[in-house]
Structure 1
Amino acid sequence: MPGPTNTMQALVLNEPSPSLTLQVQELPVPHIGANEVLVEVEYVGLNHIDARLGAEGFCRWQYPHVLGLDAVGTVVEAPVGVFPKRGTRVIFTTSLAEQGVLKRYTKVANYAVAEVPASIPSAVAATLPNAGMTALAALDKIQLQAGESIYINSGCGAVAHFAIQYARKRGAKVFVSAPQSEHERIKALGADVLFASEGERLVQDIKHELGPDGFDTILNSCGGETFVADLAHLRFGGRIACLNGFAQIPQELLFSRAPIIAAVSLGGAWLANSLCAQQKLSFMGQQLLQDVGAGHIQPPAHRTLAFEVEQVSEALRQLYQQGASVRPVVAVKSGALP
């Protein structure tokens, strides 16, 4: 339980900046509402979106801002009759519009958490929520079916790690672009065909694999102009999911592909104040935990960081500049770091 002072340590960002330099600040422990639980944070999994929004800012944020969306911790306070009860270990991804979870305690809606089974270590569970849920949401949006093809344009990312595996579980043929150095790891996840090429050479390689037709579905995680480039690889009437917005689509390309375009926004569950969408986060968390626990899905590799300014700031800078196939996980709770 929170100490007698009712305050806690947090790592805060004073302003958006690519330097992503955090500071320690003492904050009040949150007070929970009728449908909320108070969680003592054990681990925080850092994502590329934490770094990008920390560097570039977000319209809903007030500063100083606490970064971090994904957490694992133990419920230490809950209203009478509200599940999960005190002592339950949970995972969740929190609202983009609120303060984040790089702090000792946080509150979260009780219906948006998933209970972590004893067989899954907390540091592993912390790598699952945002990336795993986004992958599940994207595959649902494009309605990927057995026997179809899917192209994932950035195989090194955390979302791709889960999307490749779940696409194979659905019986799809999985095509992935990634640097040659990542091919062995990605192949082990279940990718059927890997491309290391770019530009015109990539176009040629895709045509060599598919012939004149394009992919049935595409998962575009980078957005911008890469979305337009990927759209050219889609078959007529195919489905494409975009995670980060896209540039203006040329009219000829739009008509020649007639695509079904799906925007994927995990944070929209909170920004739209959709109770059903927030509950679905819990369901997806349960699915991820069940599949990892059963050995059906391989969690990403991770490295553990101390809950201190230098290590966390540097990890965020690395995520912003180049991403990472090994996920940084912050040990927040005292004694959590091995």
Structure 2
Amino acid sequence: MPNTVVTNPDTIPSSMQAIALIEPNEDIHLSDTQLPVPQCTGNELLVKVEYVGLNPVDAQFAKSGFCLWQYPHVLGLDAVGVVVKAGKGVFPGVGERVMWHASIGEQGVLSEYAKVPNYAVSIIPKQLASDKAATLPCAGMAALISLDKLSVTEGDTLFVEGGAGAVGQFAIQFAKQRGADVFTTASKRNHKLVKQLGADVVFDYNDKALCDKIRRELGPQGFDAVIDIMGGESTIQNIELMRFCGRIACLNPLPNFEQQLMYRRAPNISIVSLGGAWLANSLCAQQRMSFMGNLLLETVANGEITPPEVLAVDFNANAVSAALNKQLAGGFTGKQVVKIS
């Protein structure tokens, strides 16, 4: 292979252990399986995966499937690992530790090896632990895209729904860096955490008088901007809490809106979709994810941003199945991370 650089050809096996979805199912039952190690071409890197961060989207699609998937399908989108094979002259090269958010339309990263285009990865600073880096891609990028779409600037009032979740934790911290006044919701046990991250005002999301208390605290004008993390009926409630022509970034599918609400609030609605960068085949959007990854890695490595707590998950089908069910049940703080190798 004169045009390929390899760590040591003898150390890369022909097959690998992976965790796959045999078919979509409500119980999120996954299977341990052996698959061929991916073959790379052109500017693709072969990476020996070290850690995989789990996300709600992994669990949602394990239940419903995805239109582009063939089965068995390897789940997982957020990966950290070491490059073991790269084309000659392709950067980053063999031995570099990298992080990336993978394409939702292709095989995932819950496997011993994975391939990824070189322009979609970010190099991890030496001082940052790999498991910490695995908490960053999906949640951190979703928070950054949301803030950019909302054009959050100094003095804005921003409502971050579910501040103790991974997206919420990143959103609070980056919004405070931009000078926003941040309001958020969390369970009472997590009020201290989100306050430490920078939230100015915290409400108990279980409070039946939540909307009234927000209005009393904020005043009649409503929020300038909202990061809508939960979706569904809460999106309607969040729009009610916005000022006229306010901005909302939605991370989940939109509900059906009543026409009267749209006239009365005239919201500027933005959709946040990391998977869209791959599905639209947008090289610029994929490269932008790499740039956002660089920012996340740099700010965490420098201590400017605190990542979510790592919740370790074993690399076997039963453990990952249970962890994905936990993702949808919620009620935990931190980021579930699978140790692959």
- TM-score category (smaller protein): over 0.9
Q: How does 1:249-288 map to 2 (within 5 A)?
A: 249-288=257-296
Give every structure 1 segment of 4 or more consecutive aligned residues whose post-TM-superposition deviation is greater than 6 Å: none
Aligned equivalents of 1:160 and 1:232: distance in 2?
Answer: 20
Structure-1 residue corresponding to 2:3: none
The C-alpha deviation readout for 1:57-95, integer Å capped at 9, x for no partner, is: 222222111111001000011111110000000000100
What percent identity do the matched residue pairs reach?
50
Aligned equivalents of 1:80 and 1:327: distance in 2?
Answer: 36
Aligned equivalents of 1:18 and 1:323: distance in 2?
Answer: 20
Aligned equivalents of 2:25 and 2:329: distance in 1?
Answer: 13
Aligned equivalents of 1:191 and 1:5: distance in 2?
Answer: 48
Aligned equivalents of 2:133 and 2:205: distance in 1?
Answer: 34
Structure-2 residue corresponding to 1:184: 192
Q: How does 1:190-229 map to 2 (within 5 A)?
A: 190-197=198-205, 201-229=209-237
Q: How does 1:1-338 map to 2 (within 5 A)?
A: 3=11, 5-197=13-205, 201-322=209-330, 324-333=332-341
The C-alpha deviation readout for 1:185-205, integer Å capped at 9, x for no partner, is: 111111111111557612211
Summarize the Cα distance change of 1:323–1:278 in structure 2 as closer, same or farther, 3 Å threshold: farther
Matched position secondary structure for 2:298:
helix
| Offset of residue 243 of structure 1 | 0.5
Aligned equivalents of 2:248 and 2:189: distance in 1?
Answer: 27
| Offset of residue 290 of structure 1 | 0.5
Q: Which amino acid aligns with 1:44?
A: V
Q: CA RMSD in A?
A: 1.4
Does the CA contact (< 8 Å) of 1:48 and 1:323 recur in 2? no
Comparing 178-187 and 303-312, the one that deviates more: 303-312
Summarize the Cα distance change of 1:198–1:236 in structure 2 as closer, same or farther, 3 Å threshold: farther
- Aligned residue pairs, count: 333
Does the CA contact (< 8 Å) of 1:123 and 1:329 recur in 2? yes
| Offset of residue 324 of structure 1 | 3.0
The C-alpha deviation readout for 1:99-148, integer Å capped at 9, x for no partner, is: 11000100001001000011000010000011001100010001001110
Summarize the Cα distance change of 1:307–1:293 in structure 2 as closer, same or farther, 3 Å threshold: same
Does the CA contact (< 8 Å) of 2:248 and 2:270 recur in 1? yes
Aligned equivalents of 1:197 and 1:223: distance in 2?
Answer: 14
Summarize the Cα distance change of 1:198–1:42 in structure 2 as closer, same or farther, 3 Å threshold: closer
Matched position secondary structure for 1:91:
strand
Summarize the Cα distance change of 1:198–1:330 in structure 2 as closer, same or farther, 3 Å threshold: closer
Matched position secondary structure for 1:78:
strand
Does the CA contact (< 8 Å) of 2:133 and 2:297 recur in 1? yes
Aligned equivalents of 1:326 and 1:4: distance in 2?
Answer: 33
Aligned equivalents of 2:289 and 2:318: distance in 1?
Answer: 31
Aligned equivalents of 2:12 and 2:161: distance in 1?
Answer: 51
The C-alpha deviation readout for 1:277-334, integer Å capped at 9, x for no partner, is: 000010000000000011100011012222122222211111122253121111111x
| Offset of residue 156 of structure 1 | 3.0
Structure 2 residue runs of 5 or longer lacking an equivalent are: 1-7
Structure-2 residue corresponding to 1:336: none
Aligned equivalents of 2:299 and 2:138: distance in 1?
Answer: 16
Structure 1 residue runs of 5 or longer lacking an equivalent are: 334-338
Aligned equivalents of 2:170 and 2:38: distance in 1?
Answer: 33
Aligned equivalents of 2:313 and 2:204: distance in 1?
Answer: 31
Does the CA contact (< 8 Å) of 1:124 and 1:299 recur in 2? yes
